Chains A and B, each alone.
Chain A
């Protein structure tokens, strides 16, 4: 990221203003508030959770929601609410980190491909389109298979699954901006390619990428839950929403609360992330720029 000493770049100022503007509507307030709440719950998990997420109590296995286990217990007698709260940590951090990796790599590749063009662009875009033609869950599965199960490989798998999206979007922005008058003027003033890319092209391409990244965090949470569901993500006893649902399928009719509550939490999280992303698009007024690719 480029740091301007005197004043923030236009798109940075725009983004910071628009985040506040996205809170303006009722939908933005509800979805944004929900997201902030989830992040706070994830950060303060040890203080909020009523029980330890890993402590088993086989005498209290499969207890229906009641006091003191507000959302019931699973097949090992672990408190579902506590596991959900700690699971927020896993899901949110894995998904957010993966998207940050994906954005950094995607923007670098896309900017280089869009700016330099030629054979390099063709090779990069062919490889990227290759990953784009498969469903994201398949790409993620393949990479977890190569790297081995675990949270780190889940992170990289999600990052690779969404790489194509960011590369294509950045490239489209760069190609569009490259022929604008102010870039021509900068070139004629004798600026080096690195200066043009870092100072003029990337800051202007940032806003749509950040919004798409925001929406991708929602998809990343679902993907993380799916990988956890297959047993390829978080390894026990680390709680993850997907892994909790997976253990709940065995006793779907016996104790449905084990599978219903993680599902509800995933749904609420993804819906609020997507709604807030939509509000952000509206506030930034960049719907056309996102659609053009």
Chain B
């Protein structure tokens, strides 16, 4: 029962990883935590475009990795996905 109920949760959860990082931008800024988000905001303020590009590259990689992990987790849980891929 549980694996079946878990499938949509895993899908949404994997898609949300990128969004969590985006939300972290605000939280880091408000509470003054050093991190990717506050680095991005500071670089934007100083017009430091290479740093902005680097931050966005890391965020894009995180989104892609999150989606990949979600797909792999789903394949390991759902035989239908596993069979159709092979």
- Interface residues of A, Cβ cutoff 8 Å to B: 133-138, 141-142, 144-145, 226, 229-232, 249
In the bound complex, how far is the Cα of B22 from the Cα of A29, in angstroms?
35
A133–B59 alpha-carbon span in the complex (Å): 11
Contacting A at CB under 8 A, from B14-44, are 18-19, 21-23, 25-26, 29-30, 40-41, 44
Q: Within the complex, which residue of A133, A145, A231, A249 is in contact with B52, where a contact is CB–CB below 8 Å?
A: A145
Q: Are A137 and B44 in contact (CB under 8 A)?
A: no
Q: Is the interface of B mostly helix, strand, loop or mixed?
A: helix
Q: Which residue of A lies closest to B66 (CB)?
A: A133
- Contacting pair B18 A135 (CB below 8 A): yes
CA distance A226 to B29 in the complex (A): 11
Report yes or no: B44 in contact with A134, Cβ–Cβ below 8 A.
no
Q: Size band of the B side of the interface?
A: 10 to 19
Chain A residues whose CB sits within 8 angstroms of the CB of B56 once the complex forms: 138, 142
Question: Please, which residues of chain A bring their CB within 8 A of the CB of B29?
Answer: 229-230
Q: Which 9 A-B pairs have the closest CB atoms?
A: A135-B22, A145-B44, A138-B22, A135-B19, A137-B22, A133-B63, A230-B41, A145-B52, A226-B26
Query: Chain A residues near B21 (CB, 8 Å)?
Result: 135
State A142–B41 Cα separation when bound (angstroms). Answer: 10
A139 and chain B: residue at smallest CB distance: B22
A144 to B41: give the CA distance in the assembly, Å.
11
- Shortest CB–CB separation between residue B35 and chain A, in angstroms? 14
Among A138, A145, A231, contact of B25 (Cβ-Cβ < 8 Å): A138
Q: How many pairs, one residue from A and one from B, have CB atoms within 8 Å of each other in the complex?
A: 39
- Shortest beta-carbon distance from A219 to chain B in Å: 13
Taking a contact as CB atoms closer than 8 A, the residue among B19, B30, B44, B63 that contacts A141 in the complex is B44
Residues of B bordering A, CB below 8 Å: 18-19, 21-23, 25-26, 29-30, 40-41, 44-45, 47, 52, 56, 59-60, 63
Chain B residue, CB-CB nearest to A144: B44
Interchain CB contact (< 8 A) of A133 among B18, B23, B25, B40:
B18
Q: Are the CB atoms of A249 and B30 closer together than 8 Å?
A: yes
**Closest-CB distance, B22 to chain A (whole angstroms):** 3
B36 CB, min distance to chain A CBs, angstroms: 11
- Would B59 and A138 count as touching, CB distance under 8 A? yes
Q: Do A135 and B23 touch across chains, with their CB atoms under 8 A apart? A: yes
The minimal Cβ–Cβ distance linking B53 to chain A, given in whole angstroms, is 10
- Can you name the residue of chain B whose Cβ is closest to the Cβ of A130? B60
In the assembled complex, the Cα of A206 lies from the Cα of B23 at a distance in Å of 32
Since A138-B22, A232-B44 are in contact, a sample of 16 more A-B pairs with Cβ atoms closer than 8 Å, ordered by chain A residue number, is A134-B18, A134-B59, A134-B60, A135-B18, A135-B21, A135-B23, A136-B22, A137-B25, A138-B25, A138-B59, A142-B52, A145-B47, A226-B26, A229-B26, A230-B29, A231-B45
CA distance A230 to B23 in the complex (A): 13
Closest to A226 in B: B26
Contacts of A230 in B (CB 8 A): 29, 41
The distance from the CB of B50 to the nearest CB of chain A, in whole angstroms, is 13
